[in-house]
Amino acid sequence: MGQKVCGKLWGRGDCAPVGEHGPNGLNRSGEEAAQTAKKVAAAVDVPVIVWGSANAEKDADVLRKVAEACDGMNLVIGPVVEDNYKQVGAGAIGYKHTPLPPAPSTSIWQNN
């Protein structure tokens, strides 16, 4: 079902291109990404992972707006990295989502 919904939203048979909101992609606004994420999350009955562009500055803005727009929809939001964990991680938790790091070896997730 998720593939069918994504195909309707993006006009393709698969989900949105990775990093379409990033500065090296289509550089879409946080508001546009938030509305798209909200449509997908409302249309499917499976967990939804919202993954940023891996540009910490852009993701801090975009993923925070996604978390707010999808308040209580229990998304998984990432990547939460050292340069944006206060904005993305706190936003995810504050709006009842799960923050996700890019990999277990990321330094902010290690107990050093």
Contact 76, 50 (CB under 8 A): yes
- Residues of the chain short of pLDDT 70, as ranges, are 1-20, 103-112
Domain residue limits, the chain: 2-109
pLDDT at res. 67? 95
pTM: 0.76
Contact 38, 60 (CB under 8 A): no
Residue 81: exposure state from Cβ atoms within 10 A (0-12, 13-18, ≥19): buried
Backbone angles phi and psi of 23, in degrees to 5:
-65, -20
pLDDT at res. 107? 52
